[in-house]
Structure 1
């Protein structure tokens, strides 16, 4: 039996960077649609982009084939340009020998990427893609909500 084929759109938002932030994700499977969002008290845009993907992939209860659309080059390139693999080989140091930022979240990606077959696709933000725009709305609304939680590591 083959894996379910899921399409995911994600976006992160920060009102100030750093500042209040939020993420939004839309998961599509056949006629099913699931929207996720959460706001944070003090965070960065990159962390919200990452949390959107982590939340969406965590939502999947079995291994899936995923097409994941993000407007974050940071997230996409970590996988398509093998940045994460290199950081792991270099003991969580960048090519410039500096500590990798957001290591706590990158570490959360590893089991998710092992579980799912994820293909990253970049979508230009604010370009009229309906699902990307929906994720942007979810992220901005979450960042502006009263239901904000602490982003543990900054």
Structure 2
């Protein structure tokens, strides 16, 4: 039986592009863990993707994962677009490389071991975990530490 993990993510950008940050809340049984980071120059969509990627990369074993995001870009991308992009060499309908290809490929690689359920939640709608993640993502954007959204080692929750 797979461990059941709930993940809440958010991304923020002060200007687009501009300084940005992501935040993640991982919940397993009674355990909660926050992950966050800020970047000097990025976009909102990159930060939304990074939150999801970092959350999934932090899981050390296969899990049943319920991910809540307020990003339509991430949810539609993962449920509708990503498999078509992969099939056509990570290109869009115009045969151009998709935006944020590095992060979409990285996200795609994180999906395999898990049974994932995606949920879109409306941002700024009194959803407690989303409010917390939003505040932490904005705090991270206001305190950037990284030059780009490249890989950095993180600790595991599971």
Question: TM-score, normalized by length of structure 1?
Answer: 0.94
The residue that corresponds to 1:7 in the other structure is 6
Aligned pairs, number: 150
In structure 1, distance between residues paired with 2:78 and 2:114: 13
CA RMSD after TM alignment:
1.1
Q: 1:141 aligns with which of 139, 142, 157?
A: 139
- Within-5 A mapping of 1:2-151: 2-81=1-80, 83-145=81-143, 147-151=144-148
* SS state at 1:49 partner: helix
- 8 Å CA contact 2:20–2:39 kept in 1: the answer is yes
> Residues 152, 5 of structure 1: CA spacing in aligned structure 2 closer, same or farther, 3 A cutoff?
closer
* SS state at 1:95 partner: coil
